């Protein structure tokens, strides 16, 4: 269905075409020899035929081709303008759609791959649950072992992207693996110490945390960041979301 802009362009183009054709006919009529009065037509007919040169077929064809060329040129110009306007509107509509349906990346399904390995190995999923494409341009993943105090600041390497430079369409996901520097024994000891502190001193942020972020860009060039922080529970052998909006969020 044509939009109001396209209808306006087509109306202007048709108006120009009709105005050009009408103007050409008016110009032709104003420059054509005037017919004699009916009362003296009989007397001047012979003289008029002698004095007024008849239009040859070649001249008539040339004049017709000239008008046709003008009409074709105006129509072609209007068509080009309509095409440019349509392309502009399509781009604007796509940009508005992406703005109203932005991409959203989430990190989930964090699982241990094996036991008995010197270091903890994990597998995780990055999924696009938004409404448009997301291009991953930067990421950082790390497993933190907190023995006392609060979580340590992340230390990303500039330009690093362990997740990979990949475009995720809406509804798609990728699997990635992470080889940490935390040993399997250290994970077990850390969980045991944490349980002892909780039992005697109350809750404390002590244990092992899977943390990181993923930066992605949509087709409008807008950058967004997804951050996550999951705490390991040895009893269920799973990672749970910390529930802190400072560490767990999606722009």
SS3 per residue for 141-209: EEEEEECCCCCCCCCCCCCCCCCCCCEECCCCEEEEEEEEEEEHHHHHHHHHHHHHHHHHHCCCCCEEE
What is the CA angle 149-214-98, rounded to 5? 140
CATH class of the structural domain 105-250: mainly beta
Q: How far is CA 25 from the centre of its chain?
A: 50
What pLDDT digit, counting tens, does each position of 181-196 carry? 777 666 665 665 555 5
User: pTM for the full model?
Assistant: 0.63
Domain boundaries, the chain: 4-100, 105-250
Confidence (pLDDT) at 189: 59
Which regions in the chain score pLDDT beneath 50?
1, 32, 34-40, 42, 197-203
Pair 222, 243: CB distance under 8 Å: no
Reference 126, options 104, 156, 99, 148; nearest CA is: 104
Place of tokens 């004699």: 36
Confidence (pLDDT) at 191: 60
Q: Report CA torsion sign: 226, 115, 177, 103.
A: negative
Q: How far apart are CA 85 and CA 83, in angstroms?
A: 5
């Amino acid at each position: 269905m044509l939009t109001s802009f396209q209808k306006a362009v087509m109306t202007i183009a048709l108006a120009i075409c009709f105005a050009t054709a009408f103007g050409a006919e008016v110009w032709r009529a104003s420059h054509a020899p005037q017919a004699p009065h009916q009362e003296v037509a009989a007397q001047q007919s012979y003289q008029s035929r002698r004095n007024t040169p008849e239009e040859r077929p070649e001249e008539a064809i040339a004049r017709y081709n000239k008008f046709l060329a003008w009409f074709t040129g105006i129509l072609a110009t209007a068509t080009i303008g309509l095409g440019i306007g349509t392309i502009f509107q399509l781009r604007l509509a796509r940009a508005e759609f992406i703005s109203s349906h932005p991409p959203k990346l989430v990190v989930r399904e964090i699982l241990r791959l094996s036991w008995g390995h010197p270091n903890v190995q994990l597998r995780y999923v990055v999924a696009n649950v938004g409404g448009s494409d997301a291009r991953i341009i930067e990421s950082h993943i790390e497993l933190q072992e907190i023995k006392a105090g609060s979580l340590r600041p992340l230390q990303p390497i500039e330009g690093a992207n362990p997740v990979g430079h990949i475009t995720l369409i809406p509804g798609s996901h990728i699997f990635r693996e992470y080889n940490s520097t935390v040993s399997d024994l250290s994970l077990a000891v850390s969980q045991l110490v944490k349980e002892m502190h909780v039992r005697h001193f109350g809750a404390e942020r002590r244990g092992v945390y899977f943390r990181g972020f993923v930066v992605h860009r949509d087709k409008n060039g807008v950058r967004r960041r997804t951050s996550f922080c999951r705490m390991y529970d040895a009893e269920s052998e799973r990672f749970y979301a910390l529930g802190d909006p400072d560490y767990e969020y999606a722009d």
